[in-house]
A and B are shown apart, each in its own frame.
Chain A
Amino acid sequence: MVRNTGPMHRHIYIILLAAVTFWCLLILLPAFSDISLFFHHCSALINLFFSPVCHQQAERTFHICNHPMAVCARCSGIYFGFLGGLILYPLLSRLFKSRPGRWLFIAGCIPTIADIIWERILRLSSSNTIRGISGLILGMVCGYILLPYILEVFDYKKQ
């Protein structure tokens, strides 16, 4: 499953995958606030929880069934990309033997930085899809870079 790891790391990997999936599901939940009053109250709490992390501007957020998600398109891209990076790591780590480093991180940042410069400095129009895709790339790179380090935290032999 995860290269050079034992059963302990597999368990950590599965727990981490479950936690990040749960985080991503929380982002989606406000879109289903119409289902019941309970969901409506939960959505308000979730929006409050994510408010320090994201500006939550409705026009910059993906909508599902006419309801905005809990975070903006770029942040959604980053979180779902992070999940994607965790899922892809076991496959990609077999192809690339060395541990990913700063150059991959810089490359992953380029689309997001370019989009921010395009929009904020050059004052040209961008879209939620572009923000989402550039965030997705950054998130995927972060997930891919961080996973071996997160697993190493639980490597008690090395501490």
Chain B
Amino acid sequence: MENKSSKLVPALVGGGVIGLLSSIPIINMGNCLCCMWVLLGGAIAAYMNAKDYPPEMEYTSGDAALAGLLAGCFGALFGTLLGYFFMTIMGTMPWQDMMEGILESDADIPPEFEDMLENMENTGQMGFMFVFGQLFINLIVDAIFGTLGGLLGKALFVKKSKE
């Protein structure tokens, strides 16, 4: 009977590392090097998961990839929420700059779309849309890089089993 350890705790810890490091201003610049913090979070999740494994069982690449993937998904969620929290504290509203850029650009924007954007900003929906869009992009990116981080963690830190 299989007795694989749960991936939830390592994934939550890895996700927490991703979320925290990806949202703290200045430190989050580390992600500019190919999502360094996401790779690190995935690697931490895989390492922790491998440590919990019973010695008689082999820790496979599939396990490492899954731990990294889950850490990436949690990291995207935590990172987006914490990022929004830090934006609120610092009073930065990036969606306002984005909307001004769209409205002031030379692009041929239909007047209905322009009205819709202004209406969304007035009712406060723009911030929600921005956070939701960011969460969507973060989920894709963090899932990919978290999985790679998990595999990298296995390659670098997990001892190979005796065959």
Beta-carbon contact of B32 and A149 below 8 Å: no
Which residues of chain B are within 8 angstroms of A155 by Cβ–Cβ distance? Answer: 60-62
CB-based nearest A residue for B160: A99
Q: Find chain B residues with CB under 8 A from A72 CB.
A: 32
Which of B9-17, B47-55, B115-123, B147-155 forms contacts with chain A? Answer: B147-155
Q: Are A105 and B60 in contact (CB under 8 A)?
A: no
Kindly report which residue of chain A lies nearest to residue B156, judged by CB atoms: A102
| CB of B29 within 8 Å of the partner chain | yes
Does chain A have a CB within 8 A of B8?
no
Q: What separation, in Å, do the CA atoms of A145 and B58 have in the docked complex?
A: 19
Task: Tell whether A153 pairs with B151 under 8 Å between CB atoms, given A53-B141, A158-B60.
Answer: yes
Chain A, 107-142, CB within 8 A of any chain B CB: 112, 142
Q: Give the A-binding residues of B (Cβ under 8 A).
A: 29, 31-35, 58, 60-62, 64-65, 134, 137-138, 140-141, 145, 148, 151-152, 154-157, 160
Q: Is the interface of B mostly helix, strand, loop or mixed?
A: helix
Q: Once A and B bind, how many residue pairs between them come within 8 Å at the CB atom?
A: 72
- Whole-angstrom CA separation of A74 from B32 in the bound complex: 10
Q: Whose C-beta in chain B lies nearest to the C-beta of A78?
A: B34
Which 8 A-B pairs rank lowest in CB-CB distance, beginning with the nearest? A152-B61, A149-B151, A55-B32, A149-B61, A102-B156, A153-B61, A153-B62, A153-B65
| Chain A residues whose CB sits within 8 angstroms of the CB of B157 once the complex forms | 102
| Most chain A beta-carbon neighbours within 10 Å: one of B33, B34, B65, B155 | B34
Bound complex: CA of A29 vs CA of B68, how far in Å?
29
B60 touches A146 (CB 8 A): no
A101 touches B156 (CB 8 A): yes
Q: Is the CB of A158 within 8 A of B58?
A: yes
CB distance from A61 to the nearest CB of B (A): 12
- Interface residues of A, dominant DSSP: helix
**Shortest Cβ distance from residue B73 to the other chain A in the assembled complex, whole angstroms:** 15
Closest to B134 in A: A52
A57 to B114 Cα, complex, angstroms: 29
The reply to whether the CB of A150 lies closer than 8 angstroms to some CB of chain B is yes
Is there a chain B Cβ closer than 8 Å to A22's Cβ? Answer: no
Give chain B residues whose Cβ lies under 8 Å from the Cβ of A149. Answer: 61, 64-65, 151, 154-155
Specify which of B134, B137, B140 lies most central, judged by the most chain A CB atoms within 10 Å of its CB: B137
Q: What are 27 sample pairs from A and B whose C-beta atoms fall under 8 A apart? A: A49-B140, A52-B31, A52-B134, A53-B34, A53-B141, A55-B29, A75-B34, A79-B34, A101-B155, A102-B155, A102-B156, A149-B61, A149-B64, A149-B65, A149-B154, A149-B155, A150-B65, A152-B60, A153-B61, A153-B62, A155-B60, A155-B61, A155-B62, A158-B58, A158-B62, A159-B60, A159-B62
